[in-house]
Amino acid sequence: MAHPKRKTSKTRRDKRRTHLKAQVPQLTNCSNCGEAHEYHTVCPACGYYRGQEAVTENSLALGETEKED
């Protein structure tokens, strides 16, 4: 079976992991209610996305979202 010839050094291992870090979520304010929410995400406070209602309290209870046509 294929096998590494040498042990990966601590330096090489740590250099590889420099990009493995927690991402700070990008926040913006809802255009409908002004509450802070993540980009490209339905506002958790009012259920609006891009200026129109995407999730209602009823659809949350049923586990459904309205379809755009």
What is residue 37's three-state secondary structure? Answer: strand
Residue indicated by tokens 């409908």: 32
- For residue 58, the minimal CB distance to Zn ion (Å) is 17
CB 36 to Zn ion: min, Å: 9
Q: Which residues 15-54 are close enough to bind Zn ion by CB under 5 A?
A: 30, 32-33, 35, 43, 45-46, 48
Q: Smaller CB distance to Zn ion: residue 35 or 66?
A: 35
* Least distance in angstroms from the C-beta of 46 to Zn ion: 3
Residue 53 is which amino acid?
E
Number of helical H runs and strand E runs in the chain: 2, 4
H runs (alpha helix) in 1-53: 10-16
**Positions in the binding site for Zn ion (CB under 5 A):** 30, 32-33, 35, 43, 45-46, 48
